[in-house]
């Protein structure tokens, strides 16, 4: 009889908000953090380009059940773009394709230009994006010199603010929907101006309910891991429920929560009349997070995504 191999790592549940450094891929950052926590299961929610820094939520254990809510969340960025230089990747790491003179633009002209990119807009993904075509990420095809047709995608730019402009450097504040490519925005602005543009600096300052001032540096995590201070590492973990903290909260009586965990829709007085919500079960001592539910066609709360057990808040 062959013995089963034990899975490596320890059970860790929660969300870590990492301030990803520049020069590192999101996957490399994930693997570093996963190793530091010696965690059995972890995943990041929303890739950042290697050049970019900022908020990268990493879900551990049971929090990975709710990672889609963070992937679908709105994001906010601070970006610096350089006018007059086009690159194949749309950022400073790409190959320079063309250099042009930068036109003189005053404040009112900038406002009119940026207004063209506010609201629902279409973007054609850059060939250096992570979108897959026939199972292959576009950036891998691009590195082989292969270019394929990409369908435009609709995204929403809720806010686009000019932070500053000096010579050929422009600073922008951006709040947008999931799937928005800031590199594409820079390229489209450069095309509108007729001089080309690319991103030189990009920092994600929020992702869904999480802001940059909550994030921890990768160096801090590594230092704690090397000193084997797991208690201090755990202090940087947010509860599993934080992944869905943007949803309204509903507390279920203990028996209702028990039925819900068995897959049965339940009725709760005072619950929202539609939409999704995060659910808690009443216990003698506290309210315990059990997962996410949604109002069904009969006006009952139906289970949508539940924890494997009620041990994580």
Q: So which residues are the catalytic ones? A: 49
Residue listed under structure tokens 């890739």: 47
Distance CA 12, CA 38 (A): 8
Distance CA 93, CA 275 (A): 42
Which tokens sit at 252?
């279920």
Whether residue 51 contacts residue 92, with contact meaning beta carbons closer than 8 Å, is answered with yes
Distance CA 109, CA 189 (A): 12
Alpha helix (H) residue ranges in 41-200: 67-71, 107-115, 138-143, 182-193
Q: What is each CA distance from 64 to 15, 58, 59, 181, 211, in whole angstroms?
A: 9, 9, 5, 24, 19
Whether residue 245 contacts residue 276, with contact meaning beta carbons closer than 8 Å, is answered with no
Distance CA 276, CA 244 (A): 10
């Amino acid at each position: 009889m062959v013995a089963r191999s034990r899975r490596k790592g320890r059970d860790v549940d929660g969300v870590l908000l990492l301030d990803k450094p520049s020069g590192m891929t999101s996957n490399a950052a994930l693997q570093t953090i996963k190793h530091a926590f010696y965690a059995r299961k972890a995943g990041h929610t929303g890739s950042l380009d290697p050049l970019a820094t900022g908020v990268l939520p990493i879900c551990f254990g049971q929090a990975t059940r709710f990672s889609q809510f963070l992937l679908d969340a709105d994001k906010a960025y601070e970006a610096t773009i350089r006018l007059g230089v086009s690159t194949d990747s749309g950022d400073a790491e790409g190959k320079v394709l063309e250099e042009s003179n930068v036109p003189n633009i005053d404040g009112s002209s900038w406002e009119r230009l940026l207004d063209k990119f506010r609201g629902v807009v279409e973007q054609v993904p850059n060939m250096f994006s992570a979108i897959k075509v026939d199972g292959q990420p576009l950036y891998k095809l691009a590195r082989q010199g292969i270019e394929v047709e990409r369908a435009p995608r609709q995204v929403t730019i809720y806010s686009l603010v000019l932070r500053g402009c000096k010579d050929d450097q422009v600073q922008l504040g951006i709040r947008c929907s999931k799937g928005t490519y800031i590199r594409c925005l820079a390229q489209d602005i450069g095309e509108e101006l007729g001089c080309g543009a690319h991103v030189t600096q990009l920092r994600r300052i929020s992702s869904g309910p999480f802001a940059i001032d909550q994030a921890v540096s990768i160096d801090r995590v590594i230092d704690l891991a090397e000193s084997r201070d797991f208690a201090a590492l755990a202090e940087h973990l947010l509860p599993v429920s934080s992944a869905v903290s943007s949803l309204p909260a509903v507390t279920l009586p203990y028996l209702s929560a028990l039925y819900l965990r068995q897959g049965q829709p339940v009725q709760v007085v005072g619950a929202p009349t539609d939409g999704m919500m995060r659910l808690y079960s009443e216990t003698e001592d506290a309210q315990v997070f059990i997962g996410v539910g949604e109002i069904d066609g009969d006006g009952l709360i139906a289970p949508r995504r539940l924890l494997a057990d009620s041990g994580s808040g």
